[in-house]
């Protein structure tokens, strides 16, 4: 069966349990949307250079939230791509150092993985993923970063949140949402409980009034 090759940059969203020889991933590529990857597990422990962002190794083991330049190969019309070469571009290592950051970053990653992004919106979503994962890596208010990422993703999908969802909130909640969206992370004053409540309310709206599948 003929094989197809693809050269692309992609951001890792999901990591599946490994098999004996392969590690599976779901990734987002700016040019192609969601891609399903299989990377052969190394037989020996990778060198430090291969585990560091920007390392020169052609076979860098991938991990959650990495952005990498990939050479891929498929024998089933792109339903699954095997990683032939991988060079790390960015690894937001700070996410793994904070449980809350890991939890919220994983939630946003699942959201993107579950929802097909039209071709014209992929560049914006790729930029959103880069900026939000960098914010998660800082460890500052990952709950707020998650809320903002969810809101911006839905807005990019074309849903008029300000006209439909926002106006149904109380005046107090409208002020809180406006602050969440406009103020720097370090200056946020909303409690984690308030942020989670507003995020869940936004997720309920998306679930019942849009085609977006929340994580």
Q: What percent of the chain is modeled with pLDDT above 70?
A: 92
89 or 43: whose pLDDT is higher? 89
| pLDDT at position 56 | 44
| DSSP letters spanning the chain | ---EEEEEEEEEEEEPPP-SSEEEEEEEETTTEEEEEEEEPPSSPPPHHHHSTT---SBPPP-TT-EEEEEEEESSTTSSEEEEEEEEEE--GGGGG-HHHHHHHHHHHHHHHHS---GGGHHHHHHHHHHHHHHHHHTS-HHHHHHHHHHHHHHHTT--HHHHTGGGS-HHHHHHHHHHHHS-GGG--S-HHHHHHHHHHHHHHHHHHSS----
90 or 54: whose pLDDT is higher? 90
Tens-place pLDDT, residues 114-159: 999 999 999 999 999 999 999 999 999 999 999 999 999 999 999 9
CATH superfamily of 4-91: Nucleic acid-binding proteins (2.40.50.140)
| pLDDT at position 98 | 95
| pLDDT at position 53 | 45
* Domain segments of the chain as ranges: 4-91, 96-209
The answer, yes or no, to whether residue 79 has pLDDT greater than 90, is no
45 or 51: whose pLDDT is higher? 45
Tens-place pLDDT, residues 100-118: 999 999 999 999 999 999 9
Tens-place pLDDT, residues 4-36: 899 999 999 999 999 889 999 999 999 999 999
70 or 46: whose pLDDT is higher? 70
């Amino acid at each position: 069966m003929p094989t197809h090759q693809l050269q692309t940059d992609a951001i890792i969203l999901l990591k599946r349990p490994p098999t004996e020889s392969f590690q599976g991933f779901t990734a987002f590529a700016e040019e192609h949307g969601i891609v399903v990857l299989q990377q052969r597990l190394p037989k020996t422990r990778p060198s430090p250079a291969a585990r560091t962002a920007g390392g020169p190794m052609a076979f860098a083991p991938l991990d959650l939230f990495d952005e990498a330049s990939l050479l891929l190969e498929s024998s089933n019309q792109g339903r699954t791509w095997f990683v032939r070469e991988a060079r790390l571009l960015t690894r937001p290592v700070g996410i793994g150092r904070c449980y809350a950051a890991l939890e919220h970053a994983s939630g946003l990653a699942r959201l993107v993985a579950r929802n097909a992004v039209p071709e014209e919106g992929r560049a914006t979503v790729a930029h959103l993923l880069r900026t939000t994962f960098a914010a998660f890596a800082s460890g500052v208010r990952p709950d707020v970063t998650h809320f903002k990422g969810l809101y911006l993703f839905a807005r990019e999908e074309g849903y008029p949140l300000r006209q439909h969802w926002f106006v149904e909130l109380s005046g107090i909640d409208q002020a809180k949402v406006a602050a969440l969206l406009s103020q720097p992370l370090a200056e946020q004053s909303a409690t984690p409980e308030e942020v989670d409540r507003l995020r869940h309310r936004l997720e309920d709206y998306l679930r019942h009034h849009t085609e977006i599948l929340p994580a």
